[in-house]
Amino acid sequence: MIKLLFAFVFLTCFACHQQEKTNTASNLAVGTATTQNDPTRFRPIFHFSPPKNWVNDPNGLVYHQGNYHLFYQYNPYGTKWGHMTWAHATTKDFVSWENLPAAIPENEQDSIMIFSGSVVVDTENSSGFGTKEKPPLVAIYTAFNHSADAQKAGQSQHIAYSNDGGIAWVKYEKNPILDLKKKDFRDPNVFWHAPSKQWVMAVVLPLEFKCLFYGSKNLKEWKLLSEFADAGNKRLIWECPALVELALDGDEKNKKWALLISSAHPDSTSKYVGMQYFVGDFDGKTFKNLHKPSTTLWLEYGKDFYAAIPWNQNPDGRKIILGWMNNWAYADTIPTSPWRGQMSVPRTMALKTYAEGIRITQQPVKELEKLRKKLHHFENMEIGSPFDLIKGVRGNVLEIEIEFEIQDAKEFGIKVAQGKAEETIIGYEVGSQQVYIDRRKSGMVDFKNNFASKDSAPLRAENGKIKWKILLDKCSVEVFANDGIVAITSLIFPSAGSQGLSLFAKEGKVKIKHLMIWELGK
């Protein structure tokens, strides 16, 4: 999918096409000499990352025959964006992943890259690509024709199908299935809408800030149903739409729809990308926003969560999303090798009613609990000094659950990945009611001048308490605050020895009701 600054990136990648194919090693070594000599140093333990090369958006998330499938944007030739192809991996438990051959390759002969999209199990064989006894998988994706011929260039929607569980794919001979003859028209996300007995596609006109909804009976012929526009944040572009039905407050008889849109970041002074969402009703034709058009609801407050979409046809009914853990502002310079880019942990979404309205909550999938090894448990600790080391606990692959009871401290929190002159701070400012991740001293931050940052989110205490679930995995921190009403995701690149932990309070005291730290491993 085309992103911000695409023209520059594309021209660079295209000009280096032949060189990339013959000498990819020159594109793999990035960062300091230490990183180059230790390619596994930042390799995450429980986040998906490709064995090598560039990765961005998750695509085609679907459950089929006991496996959760992940397709994703991939460059087979190097660690920078280019030659977009759908790569493929599967998991049964969101912990262990099997890497499979590339699924839908770039068509270099016709100058067509394979951009973002979705996959469905065509259970009734409405497409005719399989049988009812053996339903096909159908991929719906954006084909980007980057031909120098202006008459051919642009983005349109294509389909492909698989009858062997997603390994081999056949492109539909009558592609495109949807073509508006536009330069920017992308990211179809398709699901079956039972009440209207049709497939529904959400797809965007990114520069026009519009989400279009189409309907189809057979996945091949599509009719425009409606469009959603003039709402939320329109500072950058709209990408990667996903329309998801969720039970409100756990009541399966009272459901609402959430429309996820990848767009701008809450930091309004920057060009960082981020994610927003809308809550409303969908009747099979029109999405009706329940909030004022000017309302912007942020799905994430960190810099490194983008292009998240849900798994289709999950048998247990959970709505699980996965996002790309990176940001276009510095994505092609992060100091990892021989890969660049990874995914967030899968997250279960829910809708909950708060005083300010209906909001999405996110929590890591429960399957990750099988990673828990040794537990360190502390209770009823009063923190009053500038910082207190958590004795006997170190690590860079951890799960932390902590509950604070606010007393008179003006600011408090926990520091992770601590070492000599390095720390990543998860903190809370009582006066402004803001939770934050501060990575300005987290280790390697100078590979791009806009990487070092402090990212904050509004968070009100509940009955005088603040709760966090924190996931630390080599080069990332994910924070889920107050049962997931706020999520903040940040990449970090600390020194290998920066594995210390400490608690802190400023200008007063705070009580730790409980603190549980699990060392994690497979």
How far is it, in rounded angstroms, from Cα 405 to Cα 514?
Answer: 10
Separation in Å, CA 2 to CA 82, 184, 185:
10, 8, 10
Residues of the chain with CATH 2.60.120.560: 366-520
pLDDT number for residue 409: 96
- The answer to whether residue 25 scores a pLDDT higher than 70 is no
Give Cβ neighbours of residue 292 (< 8 Å, ≥ 6 apart): none
pLDDT number for residue 147: 87
CATH superfamily of 366-520: Exo-inulinase; domain 1 (2.60.120.560)
What CATH number matches the domain at 6-28+51-364, 1.10.10.10, 3.90.420.10, 2.115.10.20, 2.60.120.20? 2.115.10.20
pLDDT band at 60 (very low <50, low <70, confident <90, very high): very high
Give Cβ neighbours of residue 381 (< 8 Å, ≥ 6 apart): 388, 503, 511, 512, 515
pLDDT number for residue 151: 81
Separation in Å, CA 164 to CA 64, 88, 191, 302:
11, 14, 21, 39
Pairing of strands 465-473, 397-406: antiparallel
* Structural tokens at position 84: 């977009």
Average pLDDT over residues 59-81: 98
pLDDT band at 398 (very low <50, low <70, confident <90, very high): very high
Containing H/E element for 49? none
Of 85-94, 201-210, 267-276, the least confident = 267-276
Q: Is 184 a catalytic residue?
A: no
- The answer to whether residue 351 scores a pLDDT higher than 50 is yes
pLDDT number for residue 21: 42
pLDDT number for residue 386: 65
**pLDDT, tens digit, 9 for 90 and up, residues 151-193:** 889 999 999 999 999 999 999 999 999 999 999 999 999 999 9
How far is it, in rounded angstroms, from Cα 2 to Cα 311?
Answer: 23
**CB-based burial of residue 522 (10 Å sphere; 0-12 exposed, 13-18 middle, 19+ buried)?**
exposed
- The answer to whether residue 12 scores a pLDDT higher than 50 is no
- The answer to whether residue 456 scores a pLDDT higher than 70 is yes
pLDDT number for residue 152: 85
% of the chain surpassing 70 pLDDT: 92
Residues of the chain with CATH 2.115.10.20: 6-28+51-364
From the candidates 38, 57, 149, 332, give the one annotated as an active-site residue: 57
**pLDDT, tens digit, 9 for 90 and up, residues 300-350:** 999 999 999 999 999 999 999 999 999 999 999 999 999 999 999 999 999
Look at the block and give the residue holding tokens 């300010």.
356
pTM, rounded to two decimals = 0.93
198: which strand partners? 193
